[in-house]
């Protein structure tokens, strides 16, 4: 029966429940703080909706018909469930909760997220986070197209729908175990930084004899630290491997990097989103 009220008024049900409990329309109107004609109109709407009489009116008050008693019995459970739903929704608005997606390069994830996310997830256990890894330019596109909620991206292209918050600066350049450039270069061929630095070095007359490529900057750094060759790395990663890694001598090209938090301007306003944003901003 309750399903039949899906297009009706919730207030009408509350008014009827009060009349059924008090047994008098005038006193019920006073208790509800509404005019008696408004209360009577609510009862009429329900009777028209159900195509049945709900009350037997008399000078002393009202009595419930058989259908009225059935509705009064069923309506109590419905209103209790409605109250429970309201409490749950309000609680959801107040306590950080929900499922969110975050995109970032695997190197960024390994170097920054372990220090900032465990405490957040422990404090707010109803938060769920799905992390995906890709290149920064693709992650930025996925945030713009609503496929990701947040992105930790390097040098993102500005977009009118994006909020971009600078978290920190870095430098992409050449690193190795030796003081001079090796004959072998280790790099991620998909990174624009690697492509640009190689072109700049070639313009200065240096060409590497051998190339070793991988999408894992951490692997490239460890390989270089063990003598495999000169790696193209972000400085934050290379500095973690000192003294095994150093900058080779010479005037070598370098590219500045900016790490940004990216999200859409028209989204991420819930308590859960704000809590996650606060944790990600702390990376800076």
Among 48, 76, 94, identify where a domain stops.
94
DSSP, collapsed to helix, strand or coil, labels residue 204 as: coil
- What is the rounded average pLDDT for all residues in the chain? 88
CATH classification at residue 164: 3.40.190.290
| pLDDT > 50? residue 7 | no
What is the domain count for the chain?
2
| pLDDT > 60? residue 50 | yes
Contacts of 176 (CB under 8 A, 6+ apart): 182, 224, 229, 230, 231, 245, 246, 248
In a shared domain, residues 147 and 267: yes
In a shared domain, residues 168 and 274: yes
Alpha helices (H) along the chain: 10-22, 25-32, 36-50, 66-94, 106-123, 136-144, 192-203, 217-225, 235-239, 271-281
Summarised one tens digit per residue, pLDDT across range 59-81 is 778 889 999 899 888 887 787 78
| pLDDT > 90? residue 14 | no
- pLDDT-above-90 percentage for the chain: 50
In a shared domain, residues 116 and 17: no
In a shared domain, residues 218 and 134: yes
The Cα 57–Cα 33 span in angstroms is 21
DSSP, collapsed to helix, strand or coil, labels residue 20 as: helix
| pLDDT > 90? residue 191 | yes
In a shared domain, residues 86 and 122: no
**Residue 282 CA: distances (Å) to CA of 113, 120, 196, 199, 224:** 10, 11, 30, 35, 30
In a shared domain, residues 132 and 22: no
pLDDT mean over 125-146:
94
Q: Which of 160, 185, 163 is nearest to 174 (CA)?
A: 185
Full residue range of the structural domain in which residue 82 is found = 2-94
pLDDT mean over 178-187:
94
In a shared domain, residues 103 and 88: no
The torsion angles phi and psi of 111, rounded to 5 degrees, stand at -90, -25
| pLDDT > 90? residue 283 | no
Among 62, 94, 126, identify where a domain stops.
94
The Cα 147–Cα 134 span in angstroms is 13
In a shared domain, residues 203 and 225: yes
Among 41, 60, 94, identify where a domain stops.
94
Summarised one tens digit per residue, pLDDT across range 101-124 is 999 999 889 888 998 889 888 888
Which tokens go with 279?
Answer: 């944790």
In a shared domain, residues 41 and 171: no
**Residue 245 CA: distances (Å) to CA of 233, 238, 257:** 11, 6, 20
The Cα 51–Cα 80 span in angstroms is 25
Choose the most confident range, by mean pLDDT, from 20-24, 108-112, 118-122, 141-145: 141-145
Contact in structure between 116 and 156 (CB atoms under 8 Å): no
Choose the most confident range, by mean pLDDT, from 106-110, 141-145, 238-242: 141-145
CATH classification at residue 11: 1.10.10.10
Ranking 9-13, 111-115, 133-137, 217-221 by mean pLDDT, the lowest is: 9-13
In a shared domain, residues 114 and 72: no
pLDDT score of 188: 96
pLDDT score of 91: 58
The Cα 140–Cα 146 span in angstroms is 10
Summarised one tens digit per residue, pLDDT across range 265-275 is 887 778 888 88
Contact in structure between 130 and 169 (CB atoms under 8 Å): no
In a shared domain, residues 108 and 249: yes
Alpha helices (H) along 124-270: 136-144, 192-203, 217-225, 235-239
pLDDT score of 87: 64
In a shared domain, residues 23 and 47: yes
The Cα 261–Cα 122 span in angstroms is 22
Q: Which of 249, 251, 170, 257 is nearest to 203 (CA)?
A: 251
DSSP, collapsed to helix, strand or coil, labels residue 253 as: coil
pLDDT score of 1: 38
Q: What's the whole-model pTM score? A: 0.63
Contacts of 178 (CB under 8 A, 6+ apart): 248
């Amino acid at each position: 029966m309750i399903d039949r009220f899906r297009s009706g008024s919730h207030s009408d049900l509350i008014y009827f429940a009060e009349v059924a409990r008090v047994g008098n329309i005038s006193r019920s109107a006073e208790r509800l703080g509404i005019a008696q004609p408004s209360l009577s109109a609510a009862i009429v709407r329900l009777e028209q909706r159900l195509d049945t009489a709900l009350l037997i009116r008399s000078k002393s008050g009202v009595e419930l018909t058989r259908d009225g008693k059935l509705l009064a019995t069923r309506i109590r459970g419905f209103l209790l469930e409605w109250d429970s739903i309201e409490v749950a929704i309000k609680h959801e608005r107040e306590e950080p909760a929900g499922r969110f997606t975050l995109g970032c390069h695997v190197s960024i994830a390994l170097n920054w997220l372990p220090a900032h996310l465990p405490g957040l997830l422990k404090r707010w256990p109803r938060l769920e986070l799905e992390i995906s890894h890709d290149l920064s330019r693709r992650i930025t596109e996925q945030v713009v197209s609503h496929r990701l909620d947040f992105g930790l991206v390097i040098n993102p292209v500005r977009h009118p729908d994006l909020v971009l918050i600078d978290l920190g600066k870095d430098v992409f350049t050449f690193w190795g175990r030796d003081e001079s450039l090796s004959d072998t270069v280790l790099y991620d061929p998909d990174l624009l930084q690697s492509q640009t630095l190689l072109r700049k070095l070639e313009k200065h007359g240096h060409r590497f004899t051998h190339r070793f490529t991988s999408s894992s900057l951490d692997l490239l750094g460890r390989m270089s630290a063990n003598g495999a060759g000169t790696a193209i790395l972000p400085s934050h990663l290379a500095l973690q491997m000192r003294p095994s890694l150093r900058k080779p001598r010479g005037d070598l090209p370098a590219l500045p990097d900016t790490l940004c938090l990216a999200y859409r301007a028209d989204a991420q306003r819930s308590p859960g989103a704000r809590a996650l944003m606060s944790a990600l901003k702390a990376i800076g």
